[in-house]
Amino acid sequence: MKKLLEITLGIVTSIGGFLEVGSLATSAQAGAAFGFQLIWAIVLGTVCLIFLVEMSGRLAAVSKQTLAGAMRDRFGYPFFLVPLVAMSLLALLVMASELGGVCLSLQLVTGISFPWWAPVGAFAAWLLLWKGTFSVVEKGASLFGLVTIVFVIAAFRLHPDWTRAAHAALPSMPRHEAMRYWFFAVSILGASIAPYLLYFYSAGAVEDKWNETDVPVNRITATLGMSFGGVLAVAVLIVAALVFVPRGIRIERFDQIALMLTPIMGRWGFYLFAAALGIACFGAMLEIALSVAYLVAQGFGWKWSEDARPRDAARFSLVYTATLVGGALIVMMGVDPLAITLMSMALTGAFLPIAIVPFLILMNDSRFVGQHTNGWISNTVVCAIVGLAFVLAVVSIPLEVMGS
Amino acid sequence: MDIALVRDLLDKQLVDREGEPLGRVDGIVMSYSADAPPRITHLELGAQTLARRLPNPFRSILAWLGRRLSPRASEPYRIEAERIIQLGRVIKIDIDGARSAARETERWVRDHIISRIPGS
């Protein structure tokens, strides 16, 4: 019974954790520009994330080590600095886009323009981390995150051509705007395979004191949970394709995406979109701030725990505070939130090998995972998808930057 | 018991008597003399030790920054090897962490920043 509850919780967790501004914006833009054609990128990203999340849970359950701690242990301090610096900088960008999502959602509801909401959103997230515990963050973000199911309902109400959608699950060559197509593909991959999720998940597993008996449960949780997240992202893409393509709308600004549910659900659609966006992004902000704090504190061997009072884990609390402040400053500078979201997701794709290859080496090292080392399937699948994301990123990012 | 310095000591998590984190093994100090085999004398912690492990120019920049920021903490903190009471996934040290210099930065951040924010 307790195990069953854990599985449910894991699924709910991913609903809160998977669909955030990155997946939302990239899926919606891809749907508006290329119809169903890019569904395959979401499928690949989700498959890769299932394997990776399962691995980070297994690492934590067997070795009682978090991903960040194990990285420094295995590869030593100088090498550890590379993912540390890359992931922290990237997390700041992603934090800014999530906060941008929260601000936009508040702007939609109140009409007050969005840079003003940045300090409010960042403060609210900080307060929750400062006063809350890990389970408050985890369960709160997940339960409220259930509102994102509205996209699945919307997709069904549009009666899409499911055979065509199923065909799009296999990769195909673009018929027009080839560079834009590949840039969207890598942005979707980067949005799905969020490395910060892995640090968060493994720290959560250690915080919840998992052991080897949790390995099977972890497998089910990762598979069902991340698949559900993938379904949500596909639903967003389908809705965007069916709403925007016939009307000839190209998405250039964030507030255009906000109208995607209105033709289906009317005024309610507008508010439900705002709620889904705000809550999903707020949950992601909490996870990113904690992930950076976990990464730094575990890497340097400081005391870390979201359950401890801030004064008892001072440097850990300082890091998540600084991450939130940094994100808020970027948003207040008034950068275009849609541009920063797309770019940070594509950059994530480019950084994936740095984050993932050392992780794979750990998962094949019996000193860390004992008899629970990776099989050849998971090694091959993850390598192939990460390799694809990297190649696409290296090719398409410079062209996108030059083009815009 | 066979111990590989880099595999089993360097970069491992250090905890005090109570099992509370102290930091990680940033460096290892050994002594050599003519008539005895080399011996591990201390484990080293600190920003300066970490800076020394990087290639230049990072090493010089970090070392300079460290001296400017906190002249007091620029000396690495050393733990005598005799105080190691347990080797494994974490390394347990027979010291009172609450008063140890290994936690000086943690205490500084707590007293000067975190404690001043309400609700800490």
* Structural domain count, chain B: 1
Measured between alpha carbons, how far is A80 from A369 in angstroms, rounded to an integer?
19
Nearest-by-Cβ selection for B21 from A302, A309, A310: A302
Average pLDDT over residues B84-98: 90
Burial of residue A201 (number of CB atoms within 10 Å: 0-12, 13-18, 19+): buried
In Å, what is the CA distance from A183 to each residue of A175, A186, A336? 14, 5, 18
The one-character DSSP state at A214 is G
| % of chain A beyond a pLDDT of 70 | 95
Segment A365-399, tens digit of pLDDT: 999 999 999 999 999 999 999 999 898 888 888 87
pLDDT of A226 > 60? The answer is yes
**CA B120 to CA B111: how far, in whole Å?**
11
Q: What's the pLDDT band for A142 if we cut at 50, 70, 90?
A: confident
For A45-90, write each residue's pLDDT tens digit. 999 999 999 999 999 999 999 999 999 999 999 999 999 999 999 9
Query: Is B23–A301 a contact, with Cβ atoms under 8 angstroms apart?
Result: yes
Cα dihedral sign, A109-A113-A115-A119: negative
Q: Select the CATH number that applies to the domain covering A21-403 from these four: 1.20.1740.10, 3.40.720.10, 2.60.40.650, 3.60.15.10.
A: 1.20.1740.10
User: What angle separates helix A117-131 from helix A134-145, to the nearest 10 degrees?
Assistant: 130
CB-CB contact of A384 with A377 (8 Å): no
What is chain B's alpha carbon radius of gyration, rounded to the nearest angstrom?
16
- Report the C-alpha gap between B76 and B81 in whole angstroms: 15
Query: What pLDDT score does B93 carry?
Result: 94
B5 and chain A in contact, CB less than 8 A: no
Query: Distance between CA atoms of B94 and B23, rounded to whole angstroms?
Result: 14
Confidence of residue B72 (pLDDT cuts 50, 70, 90): low
Q: Is B89's CB within 8 Å of A301's CB? A: no
Residues 6+ apart with CB under 8 A from A329: none
Residue bearing the bigger pLDDT, B56 or A298: A298
> Could B110 and A76 be called an inter-chain contact, meaning their C-beta atoms sit closer than 8 Å?
no
Is B59 at the interface with chain A, CB within 8 A?
no
Q: Identify the band that residue A402 occupies on the pLDDT scale cut at 50, 70 and 90.
A: confident
The token pair at A228 is 């559900």
CATH of the domain at B67: 2.30.30.240
Asked if A306 contacts A287 with a C-beta cutoff of 8 angstroms, the reply is no
A291: enclosing H helix or E strand: helix A262-300
- Give the pLDDT of residue A350: 86
Would you state the structure tokens that stand for residue B108, as one six-digit string? 């500084």
Global pTM value: 0.92
Average pLDDT over residues A288-296: 94
Residue A22 pLDDT: 87
Helix (H) or strand (E) holding B44: strand B36-45
Q: A-side interface with B, Cβ within 8 Å?
A: 63-65, 69, 72-73, 76-78, 80-81, 130-131, 299-304, 309-311, 314-315, 317-318
Judge residue B67's burial from the number of C-beta atoms within 10 Å of its C-beta, 0-12 exposed, 13-18 middle, 19 or more buried: middle
Count helices and strands in chain B by DSSP H and E runs: 3, 7
Q: Give the model's pLDDT for residue A135.
A: 81
Collect all residues of chain A within an 8 Å Cβ-Cβ radius of residue B114. Answer: 310-311, 314, 317-318
* A311:B24 CB<8 A: no
Give the tokens for residue B44.
Answer: 């080293």
| pLDDT reading at A16 higher than 60 | no
Alpha-carbon distance of B38 to B28, in angstroms, equals 12
**Which domain range does residue B38 map to?**
5-116
The encoded tokens of residue A344 equal 């940070």
CB contact under 8 A, A77 and B50: yes
Cβ atoms of B79 and B95 within 8 Å: the answer is: yes
Burial label for A353, CB within 10 Å (0-12, 13-18, 19+), is middle
